[in-house]
């Protein structure tokens, strides 16, 4: 966030969640779930630049930090590429998995702190999940009610 202010570039955050992960874990076992998570992480990393960050932050959630983004459309394009890469079939011990990924996208605004940016990306992810998952949703401050 500090470097963003110095360089004049923007920081985008993508909050990603593997759809129906529990069904894979419960139906095919934890080894299948682990294989799905490893494959998802590798697929996400294959799309982003070396200067970007991919981190698993929870059971089936990943956060991608895109550094040096110029426009929101750049972040949307990368999110779409991640969505496509992550949705490729995966074979595991004779089973075909058809992974789906929901992604929330936001771009840091002047004066925002890290927690606010992550919350915005998470809110966009929640909107993607609420709309049925397997999609990319960009954070829209006008559609979020906060107390």
Give Cα 62 distance to the centre of its chain: 6
DSSP 8-state symbol, 57: E
Residue in the structure block whose two tokens are 């923007």: 10
Beta strands in 87-142 (DSSP E): 90-92, 95-97, 101-107, 136-138
Q: Is 60 assigned a catalytic role?
A: yes
Residue of 19, 60, 120, 122 with catalytic role: 60
Please check whether residue 120 is in contact with residue 139, taking contact to mean a CB–CB distance below 8 angstroms.
yes
Instruction: Report, as residue numbers or ranges, the catalytic residues.
Output: 60
């Amino acid at each position: 966030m500090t470097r963003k202010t110095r360089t004049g570039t923007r920081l985008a955050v993508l909050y990603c969640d593997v759809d129906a992960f529990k069904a894979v874990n419960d139906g095919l076992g934890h080894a299948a779930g682990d294989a799905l998570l490893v494959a998802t992480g590798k697929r996400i990393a294959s799309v982003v630049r070396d200067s970007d960050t991919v981190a698993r932050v929870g059971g089936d959630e990943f956060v991608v930090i895109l550094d040096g983004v110029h426009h929101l459309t750049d972040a949307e394009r990368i999110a779409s590429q991640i969505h496509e890469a992550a949705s490729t079939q995966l074979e595991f011990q004779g089973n075909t998995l058809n992974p789906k990924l929901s992604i929330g996208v936001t771009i840091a605004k002047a004066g925002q702190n890290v927690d606010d940016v992550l919350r915005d990306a998470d809110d966009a992810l929640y909107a993607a999940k609420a709309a049925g998952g397997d999609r990319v949703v960009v954070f829209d401050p006008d559609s979020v009610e906060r107390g």
